[in-house]
Amino acid sequence: MLQSARFQVFAILLASGAPVATGGAQWTPVTSPTDVELRGLSVVSPNVVWASGQRGTVVRTTDGGRTWSRDTVPGAGALDLRAIAATSALVAHAISIGDSSRIYGTADGGRTWTRRWSATRKGTFLDAIRFWDARNGIAMSDPVDGRFLLLVTADGGDSWQEVPASALPPALPGEGGFAASGSCLTVAGHADVWFASGGASVARVYHSADRGRSWTVSDTPIRAGVGSAGIFSVAFRDARNGVIAGGDYAKPTLRGRNLALTRDGGRTWTLADSTSSPAGYRSAVTYVPGIPASTLVAVGLSGTDISRDRGVTWTSVDTVAYNSVAFATPTRGWAVGPKGRIARWSTRP
């Protein structure tokens, strides 16, 4: 559906391992064990990072990126693993998209994988997966029979149950999720969860404060109205302060209406400064932990942007294409993207 469209990669690929930098902020490319497109990213700690992508690929480092392992999930060699959620160096869950939507789990660092859930209902299209803790997690799919499909686990991913459709508001015509970065779904605290949508007349954010048992939905001012536009990523610093990023992936350099902020848990949203918003469509946005000023970093096909004022204004860092971004500490972040690209942020933003 929305997510199956191929993204055009227009950015110039790095010709060497030299850092790409603007104003002291920089990404340093690391040697990748794969050349497939990576979209899923889960940063457990400064040393432990997992990523996933095409052809059933999962890569992992446990030494801060000095070395990486690469595995192909058995039975998933033809699948695109668009999102991954890890809770330790050993435990992770990855999802595949499309009619073959599945959840795979490993408890031994990727040496073996088990299929934990498989789609049986027409229209299922998994977009993202997150965990609050080692036991409790949630995954989301595009709407099935007019409402988004949510799955929850309370046993560390061994089994998954559908949230009753009646707990969710009806979806709009054309509404769905974007599996561009695995970050259209996010969790905070012990029970809050949000997911974001696009492809419809308005881009919306759904919220549950009870681990998915009940839901509300809010309209946002993010660009919408066509199937390629909407919200691609949502992040929350706490139960009240959040950010959404997106735009139109068919127009990756179109500025404006691509980032918005909330101070009330997602009930209302305000656009970032249009004169300094990120320079185009952004597929992922994240808070940098441990910085009181609430620094944020956003990535997309036209580059990386940084905000040091809680997302109000943004500055371009570079023009290299990335799909996903996440930080472990104020000085250690990661981004992944096309052709197996992996980069490390090792300076304070």
Whether 170 maps to a domain, the answer reads: yes
Residue 140 lies in a domain: yes
Q: Per-residue pLDDT for 82 more than 80?
A: yes
175-200 per-position pLDDT tens digit: 999 999 999 999 999 999 999 999 99
Strand 38-43 to strand 342-345: parallel, antiparallel, or no bridges (unpaired)?
A: unpaired
pLDDT of residue 25: 60
Number of domains in the chain: 1
Is residue 6 pLDDT above 80, yes or no? no
Quickly list DSSP for 143-187: EETTEEEEEEESSTTSS-EEPPGGGSPPPPTT-B---SSS-SEEE
Within-domain flag for 349: no
257: in domain: yes
Q: Which has the higher per-residue pLDDT, 192 or 275?
A: 192
Q: How confident is the model at residue 269 (pLDDT cuts 50, 70, 90)?
A: very high
Listing from the earlier edge strand, what are the strands of the sheet with 216-219? 185-188, 192-196, 204-208, 216-219
Is the confidence at residue 1, as pLDDT, over 90?
Answer: no
Any domain includes 323: yes
pLDDT digits (tens, 9 = 90+) for 198-246: 999 999 999 999 999 999 999 999 999 999 999 999 999 999 999 999 9
The pLDDT of residue 24: 57
| Residues with Cβ within 8 Å of residue 101, at least 6 apart in sequence | 95, 118, 119, 124, 125, 126, 141
The pLDDT assigned to 14 comes to: 33
CATH code of the domain containing 291:
2.130.10.10
Residues found in the chain:
349
State the pLDDT at residue 21. Answer: 43
Distance CA 222, CA 202 (A): 8
- Give the burial class of 275: count Cβ atoms within 10 A of its Cβ; 0-12 exposed, 13-18 middle, 19 or more buried: exposed
Q: Which whole number is the average pLDDT over 46-63?
A: 99
Q: What is the mean pLDDT of the chain?
A: 92
Asked whether residue 46 is domain-assigned, the answer is yes
- How far is the first Cα of the chain from the last one, in angstroms, to the nearest whole number? 36
How far apart are alpha carbons 298 and 291 in whole angstroms? 16
Q: Is the pLDDT of residue 328 over 90?
A: yes
**Residue 16 is assigned to a structural domain of this protein:** no
* pLDDT value for 241: 96
**How far is residue 252's CA from residue 258's CA, in Å, rounded to a whole number?**
10
Residue 23 CA to residue 338 CA, distance in Å, equals 25
Check: pTM over 0.75? Answer yes or no: yes
* DSSP letter for each residue of 93-137: EEEE-GGG-EEEEESSTTSS-EEEEE--STT--EEEEEESSSS-E
Residue 162 lies in a domain: yes
Q: Write out the residue range of the structural domain in which residue 225 sits.
A: 36-330+337-344
Contact between 249 and 39 (Cβ < 8 Å): no
